[in-house]
Structure 1
């Protein structure tokens, strides 16, 4: 029986309108503060509720300006090639071309790519088209993409720690 590998996937959303993205971030901080407030009001927390409603409304407004990418991890050889192509000096991995890494990887990893509910055409998912788009992004936007790419391809997918913890838990509980 042949070995079948099922690579991990992850879906990420990048709000392309930075003004709205920053407003969402600010509202999120305000909501966190409101939820952590020690002031208790009968009937719940009306301030938190209003903030949550505003976030949901703004999320709807941002839908047309949101890039949604479903990414699937690359096989090792392809991932290694992406790293090598975008690391001019292997002794200085922090000098890596992050835009190049993101565009090369996403061009191969994208299972689906949608902006505002509309699928992106294939010509917008080439290395060159992605590089052009990613060059226009802020560090904060590009970081979301790079972190997803690195997580899917660079983190160990080894469940041993979870297996060990589950075994110890079950042994200690007598189950």
Structure 2
């Protein structure tokens, strides 16, 4: 399923999951407006493309510049960073060299992050089962964790006939 981060967070919010407040923007002016509505003092401006590694990615026209996820400290910085990101091609490990054009942004309230965890559910093509993947080594570079320290990743296959059971969650 290809949905953007802001769409996924709306779905989670609808089921009562606590997620940071934010809003989608298609122009720098809309991004600034979202930031003003959220209040400050810190915001995160996030490129919305169907690929991971957006923060570590680089824009095709500025490969030495900033990535597709930026922490900023003023409404003016929200607008200027939005202008630098919108309508530009973001290249990440997952997009390949062709990259993907950034057509929308997600402006989110900043948070004081104490600890990052990784949790994902995916369909394992080999088994045809949903697999829970979890790690205490959260953050943007889960692929590097998988490569360098695979023992820090827990994988639990879920039988589609029974669904997620208590023992699955205890293992995670």
In the superposition, the TM-score normalised over structure 1's length comes to 0.24
Greater Rg by CA:
1
In the superposition, the TM-score normalised over structure 2's length comes to 0.24
As a proportion of its length, which structure holds more strand?
2
As a proportion of its length, which structure holds more helix?
1
